[in-house]
Homo-oligomer: A and B are copies of this chain.
C-alpha cells in the first residue's frame, strides 16, 4: 500500500511503512488577501518564498492552489506550478475546485502529481478522474457527495469506497487514491475526532488505501487551536493516517510529525528526531549569539 509521487528529481512514498508525509499548505490564497492580490497581479514572489520556507521546514510535498475569484485561475495555477517546480525539488499537489485549472496545472507539471481533489459527486467523478488517468497522476478523494458531508462514519466510508472503485474503472490503481476522511470542526460536531479515526482505520484495513487530511479545520472556532491541532494530528497518526496537508512552519506540527514517526517505529534509531533537535539547538544558540552581539553594539 504505497502511493508514489514524483518530480523530475525526487520521489515521495506515502504509506504505513514510510515516515508521515507533510504536504505544505501555505501556497493557497484562501484567507490570505495579500497573497491573493499579488497572484492575481502576476506577482509570484510570495509564492516562491513560501515554497522555499516550507521545504526548508521539512515539507515533503507542497500544495499549490490559485483559487482567487474573478481571475484566470487555470493560467495562474499553471504559472505557479511552473515557478515552484523551477525553485524546489519536492513533488506537488495541484489544488483547485475548477477542473480546467487542474488540467492546466497537470499540463504544466513535470512528474507524477497529486490532484486535490475529487469528491463522491457524480459530476466531479466524471470530470476529474479521466484527467487524473490521462496524466497518470494520483488523486485525493474527499468523502462527501451530493448529499453533503455525512456525520455517519459508515456513509462517509461508503463514499470512499465509491471513489476508489470508480477510479479503478478509469484505470487509476487504488494505491493512487488518497482518501481524505474529512476533519470537521469538533466544536460543532463533537464526534468529529472519533469519526475520522474510525474511517481512517477502515480505509486502510478494508480498502487498502492511504489517507490524507487537512489537519487544522478540526479546531475551528475553539481557543488554543495549536494545542488541539497537534494532539489531533498525533491521534490521527496513531489511527493510521499517512499524510496531511498542514503548515510545517509551525514548530509544534513539525515536532508532532517527527515524534509520531518515532512511536510508529518509522524513525530508525530516532535519527530524524535527533537531527531535528540538534538543528533546533544550533539555531537557538545562533539567535542567542546574535542577541549578544546586538546588545554589545548598543552598549
Give the residues from 229 to 256 in chain A that come closer than 8 angstroms, CB to CB, to chain B: 230-232, 234-239, 252, 255-256
Which residues of A approach B to under 8 Å, CB–CB? 186-187, 190-194, 197, 218, 222-224, 227-228, 230-232, 234-239, 252, 255-256, 259-260, 262-265, 267-270, 273-274, 277, 280-281
- Pairwise interchain contact A262-B227, C-beta atoms closer than 8 A: no
In the bound assembly, the distance between CA atoms of A239 and B186 in angstroms comes to: 19
9 shortest A-B CB distances, which residue pairs?
A: A193-B263, A234-B234, A231-B259, A235-B238, A238-B238, A223-B277, A194-B265, A231-B234, A227-B255
CA distance A187 to B273 in the complex (A): 10
Q: Quick check: B277 and A255 within 8 Å, CB to CB?
A: no
Given A191-B265, A223-B277, A227-B255, output 4 extra A-B contacts at Cβ < 8 Å: A190-B270, A193-B264, A227-B252, A231-B259
Residues A273 and B235 in contact, CB atoms below 8 Å apart: no
Residue from the list B218, B262, B274, B281 in contact with A193, Cβ < 8 A: B262
8 Å CB contact of A238 from B186, B234, B274, B280? B234
Say yes or no: A238 contacts B190, CB within 8 Å: no
CB-CB < 8 A to A255: which residues of B?
224, 227, 231
CB distance from A262 to the nearest CB of B (A): 6
Residues of B within 8 A of A238 (CB): 197, 234-236, 238-239
Contacts of A256 in B (CB 8 A): 227, 231
A133 to chain B, nearest CB (A): 35
A252 to nearest B CB, angstroms? 8
Most buried by B among A218, A222, A238: A238
Chain B residues whose CB sits within 8 angstroms of the CB of A187 once the complex forms: 270
How far in angstroms is the closest Cβ of chain B from A275?
11
Task: Kindly state the separation between the CA atoms of A48 and B200 in the bound complex, as whole angstroms.
Answer: 45
**Known contacts being A234-B238, A238-B235, is A190 close to B259, with CB within 8 Å?**
no
Residues of B within 8 A of A194 (CB): 263-265
